[in-house]
Structure 1
Amino acid sequence: MKIVFLVLLGLHSAAAVTHSLKNIVTASSQVPNFPEFVIVGMVDDVQIQHYDSNTTRLVPKQDWANRVTEDNPQHWERYTARCLGLQQIFKGYIETLKHRFNQTGGVHIFQWVGGCEWDDETGEVSGFRQVGYDGEDFLSWDVKTNTWIAPKQQAVITKNSWNNDKALMAHYKYLLSQDCPDWLKKLVNYGRSSLMRTELPSVSLLQKTPSSPVSCFATGFYPDRAMIFWRKDGEELHQDVELGEILPNHDGSFQMNVDLNLSSVTPEDWRRYECVFHLSGVKDDIITKLDKTAIQTNWGKTGDGRDGGFPLGAVIGGVVVLLLLVVGIVGFFLWKKNKKGKDGVQPANTTDASSSSLSSSVEVQNTGL
């Protein structure tokens, strides 16, 4: 089984008007050095709460997230108890699915994602749920019909059982169309100063060897809604360029790069090229001219005699944080991409209705799988 780790990235900028509340629940079997059960809650893809079976405590991960105790002083204790209950239910889910798929030992992962989105400009709200098992879709929720869809034969029995519980399906609709958005609005208000901040990056030109592509490297920006690209004579380039992924830094900011292959470019034409960094919500772009004397290298001196060298600390820091996010936040990515729309993105269910970031999007089916 191919295991792909889930990377929790992406925040909304001040210009963004769509906010999201999401809970990711991961149960695992026989995964070395990893908790058997993990819950991560996120607002605008920023982690706000965490629970795992090793600590058996639901705890806030942002200072502003702890403001939930203003209205409910026992919030963390109450939902720690709920997480303990979910832990046992999910353990049973894995055993049920192992039997249904005719499996015995080995590594197995059961995961669901649930939550809602809210457009603070139009007021439009929508919910989502999706369930995955061992790296593949198991159940998807159709937001338009408020029913579950089974992409696998082994999921049909669960789909029928859950869809036939009309009271529970009505409860789902209420939670994800009203309760979850109400809680999301409250959390966005709590964290507005953090979620809406804007930080510009430092931009450098890097080159490994004289024949390597020149990399335009931006680090320290926030949020992650950004673009970086090369252009020639004012026109964006699509050939001889390679765009890297956005990665997190240790301080919560982000980094990204775009490489330009100059093998067919004469030195005289270098002045026609420039790197452009654009951050959503910021009017002015950061433009960096392709200048040989400004390139940092790890093979010697730059053209003007200065010491070269990549800012490896920033790069390594991003990689380390990425690994920490993987190990300390969630587990495994069961879907190679989110599939929003009529197939839904998401998971499921509990019959205990209560206003909270956990209950609104993680409702556990008491009748089992």
Structure 2
Amino acid sequence: MKLFIFLFLLEIHGTMGLTHSLRYFYSSSSGVSNFPEFVAVGLVDDVQMIHYDSNTQKAEFKQQWIEKAAEDDPEYSARQTNRLMNTQQVFKGNIDILKQRFNQTGGVHINQLMYGCEWDDETAEVNGYHQYGYDGEDFISFDLRTESWIAPVMQAVITKHMWDSDRSLSGDLRNYHTQLCPEWLKKYLNYGRSSLMRTELPSVSLLQKSSSSPVTCHATGFYPNRAEMVWRKDGVELHEGVNKGESLTNNDGTFQMSVDLEKSHEGRQTDTKTKTERREECL
């Protein structure tokens, strides 16, 4: 079997200069059997830390470090549970309103909210977002720059006018997304530093099922989930015949990723590098 050496580039950012995120996802449903009517999850850097649903009606912690945060703040767990119980009732009413707006009676319907913030630990730049969706489509979102609501569908216009006129709501959202959310994000990062801020380098392998099959460069065991894999030939990145796979989570919390190269686009020379200057060869 003829041996080829291919270019593989994996970029893993270190612990400095990262954009960190705190995100919450709320989802209420109508007409969905064997599933909670309301579910809420919170994530720090895409790692789930908290879960709540209408069946348990209790905020459950998913990481040891968030349990430590709760120990240091005895009222934390109760506050989270009470907040999400109240949100559950609001969303239950919202989905009824939305069904009326869209002239719907029965069927399966889902109302969602995604909100949170991002913080660059090098530039200190902060970005916030607050977006509602209904039945898989955008419904209304808050523009932090203009402090106004954007309504992409006709049924959301009445909500836009109502919320735009509520200046206290706009002020509260501005304060949350630019002040409170980043403060909580930094607090969570401090508690979870040993796991959230770690860096794990990958092991890399080259796979091919048969001589006519695509060649797969596979990297696994890296953390955080900020990596890029590319094929290059003679120093030029290849795009044609390259199929990039999604980043997947391993059982130990690290990640894996693969990039396929069609047989006709094989190259002859390769190199591997990371931001931490580690070198591997994909052979």
Q: Is the 8 A contact 2:271 2:279 kept in 1?
A: no
Shift of 1:273: 3.7
The alignment status of 1:73 with 2:67, answered yes or no, reads no
Structure 1 residue runs of 5 or longer lacking an equivalent are 1-10, 290-369
Q: Which residue does the alignment assign to 1:111?
A: 112
Q: Is the 8 A contact 2:20 2:121 kept in 1?
A: yes
SS at match of 2:200: coil
SS at match of 1:287: coil
Q: Is the 8 A contact 1:228 1:275 kept in 2?
A: no
SS at match of 2:263: coil
Q: Is the 8 A contact 2:17 2:121 kept in 1?
A: no
SS at match of 1:25: strand
- Cα distance in 2 between the residues matched to 1:13 and 1:31: 43
- Cα distance in 2 between the residues matched to 1:58 and 1:128: 23
Cα deviation, 1:113-138, whole Å, max 9, x if unaligned, reads 11122222222323211111011110
The within-5 A match list for 1:317-356 is none
Q: Which residue does the alignment assign to 2:44?
A: 43
Q: Which amino acid aligns with 1:114?
A: Y
- Cα distance in 2 between the residues matched to 1:77 and 1:209: 57
Q: Which runs of 4+ in 1 moved over 4 A?
A: none
Q: Which amino acid aligns with 1:239?
A: E
* CA distance 1:62–1:257, shift in 2 (3 Å): same
Q: 2:282 aligns with which of 281, 285, 288?
A: 288
Cα deviation, 1:220-279, whole Å, max 9, x if unaligned, reads 1111111222222343322222111111112111111111122476xxxx6x14364x55
User: What TM-score results when the alignment is normalised by the length of structure 1?
Assistant: 0.69
Q: Is the 8 A contact 1:140 1:148 kept in 2?
A: yes
SS at match of 2:133: strand
- Cα distance in 1 between the residues matched to 2:31 and 2:250: 31
Instruction: Work out the number of aligned pairs and report it.
Output: 272
SS at match of 2:124: coil
Q: Which amino acid aligns with 1:149?
A: I
Q: Is the 8 A contact 1:22 1:43 kept in 2?
A: yes
Q: Is the 8 A contact 1:12 1:44 kept in 2?
A: no
Q: Which amino acid aligns with 2:277?
A: K
Identical-pair percentage? 56
Shift of 1:35: 1.9
The within-5 A match list for 1:129-148 is 129-148=130-149
Q: Which residue does the alignment assign to 1:274?
A: 270
Structure 2 residue runs of 5 or longer lacking an equivalent are 1-11
The within-5 A match list for 1:236-315 is 236-263=237-264, 272-274=268-270, 276=272, 278-279=273-274, 281-289=275-283
Q: Is the 8 A contact 2:247 2:255 kept in 1?
A: yes
- Cα distance in 2 between the residues matched to 1:214 and 1:124: 40
Comparing 229-238 with 182-191, greater Cα deviation is found at: 229-238
Q: Which amino acid aligns with 2:55?
A: N
The within-5 A match list for 1:106-255 is 106-255=107-256
Q: Which residue does the alignment assign to 1:339?
A: none
